[in-house]
Amino acid sequence: MAMIEIERLVKRFGAFTAVDGVGFSVERGTVLGFLGPNGAGKSTTMKMITGFLPPTSGRIAVSGFDIAEQPLSAKRCIGYLPEGAPAYADMTPRAFLDFIADVRGLTGADRQRKLDEAIARIDLEPVLEQPIDTLSKGFKRRVGLAQAILHDPEVLILDEPTDGLDPNQKHAVRTLIKGMAATKAIIISTHILEEVEAVCTRSLIIARGKVLAEGEPLPDAAGWRFGTLEAAPGRLDAVFRQITTGQGASDQVTELAA
């Protein structure tokens, strides 16, 4: 059974259609890269998967629970890092994670164990007692990631998880994601194509609210394939441009084949 199932998903804001018939599934053990230009519908889709936005039409199931009919059961299975990772500015990371543990219903020894694990895995010890409002952008992002993984969910929805992190922090987060991948279904929205190459096992490219292509890594780390298009390692940007704009197709195919 797929951990995430999406069928004919549509979201309209008045006359504007932000998501237009999107459908895909994500199995346990999959890290799905969700790619697209600004305004493509990525964040809107992720907000619908997590129950923050109701769809205009379509169906979403998480761990077998319909997000519209069984929202609490579905949301218990999800860890969500939204764009911007909002948190209470006057709280410290320790107080904020304690609050999230209460919201998630964690108690007793299991609660403390999961708090300790999340703090250690995201390396928050240096700022645990510092007000969140005074933290750097990178540490704020790490607090958001810690709350997403705190209850050890089987589904993770991560919107730009390494935004604002320095290269060492990005490497640590990517290593963490790869380490968790075997037991979870993970969706990562990102503009950083090297991140897709580093951690993802599948990828979707979305533009104008529609899924345009699905890709997977080639054997032996030889790059990525999207339909008939192939990109050598480090050259995924050319395929992305071709699929999302349709411009310079002949030049890019020649370039990719080189």
Same domain? 98 vs 147: yes
Same domain? 129 vs 32: no
**C-alpha closest to that of 218 among 234, 240, 238, 241:** 234
Same domain? 129 vs 4: no
User: What are 219's two structure tokens?
Assistant: 């054997």
Question: What pLDDT is stored for residue 254 in this prediction?
Answer: 34
14 burial level (CB within 10 Å; 0-12, 13-18, 19+): exposed
The domain tally of the chain equals 2
Same domain? 125 vs 99: yes
**C-alpha closest to that of 141 among 159, 126, 125:** 159
Same domain? 159 vs 210: yes
108 burial level (CB within 10 Å; 0-12, 13-18, 19+): exposed
**C-alpha closest to that of 254 among 236, 229, 234, 233:** 229
Same domain? 106 vs 8: no
Same domain? 167 vs 99: no
CA distance 73 to 70: 6
Assigned domain for 4 exists: yes
Assigned domain for 1 exists: yes
**What are the pLDDT digits (tens) for 33-54?**
999 999 999 999 999 999 999 9
Question: What pLDDT is stored for residue 226 in this prediction?
Answer: 94
Same domain? 69 vs 167: yes
Assigned domain for 232 exists: no
Same domain? 45 vs 107: no
Assigned domain for 106 exists: yes
> Which CATH number do you get for residue 32?
3.40.50.300
**What are the pLDDT digits (tens) for 202-252?**
999 999 999 999 999 999 889 999 999 999 988 899 999 999 987 543 343
Mean pLDDT of successive 10-residue segments in the chain (258 residues)? Answer: 94 97 97 94 95 96 97 97 86 97 95 96 95 93 95 96 89 93 95 91 96 94 91 90 70 37
Question: What pLDDT is stored for residue 119 in this prediction?
Answer: 97
Assigned domain for 253 exists: no
108, 123, 152 - which closes a domain: 152
69 burial level (CB within 10 Å; 0-12, 13-18, 19+): exposed
Assigned domain for 242 exists: no
Same domain? 70 vs 158: yes
Q: Which domain holds residue 141?
A: 88-152
CA distance 88 to 96: 7
CA distance 24 to 185: 13
Assigned domain for 244 exists: no
Name the helix (H) or strand (E) containing 113: helix 108-122
Assigned domain for 136 exists: yes
Question: What pLDDT is stored for residue 192 in this prediction?
Answer: 87
CA distances from 72 to 67, 77, 206, 249 (A): 8, 9, 28, 46
User: What are 22's two structure tokens?
Assistant: 């999107």
Strands (E), 16-154: 16-26, 31-35, 57-62, 65-66, 78-81
Same domain? 16 vs 106: no
Task: Give the DSSP letter string of 152-212.
Answer: --SEEEEESTTTT--HHHHHHHHHHHHHHGGGSEEEEE-S-HHHHHHH-SEEEEEETTEEE
First-to-last alpha carbon distance for the chain, in angstroms, is 40
Same domain? 184 vs 161: yes
Task: Check: pTM over 0.85? Answer yes or no.
Answer: yes
Q: What is the DSSP letter of 124?
A: -
102, 128, 152 - which closes a domain: 152
122, 152, 182 - which closes a domain: 152
Question: What pLDDT is stored for residue 248 in this prediction?
Answer: 42
Average pLDDT of the chain is: 91
Buried b (16+ CB within 10 A) or exposed e, 127-153: beeeebeebeebbbbbbbbbbbbbbbb
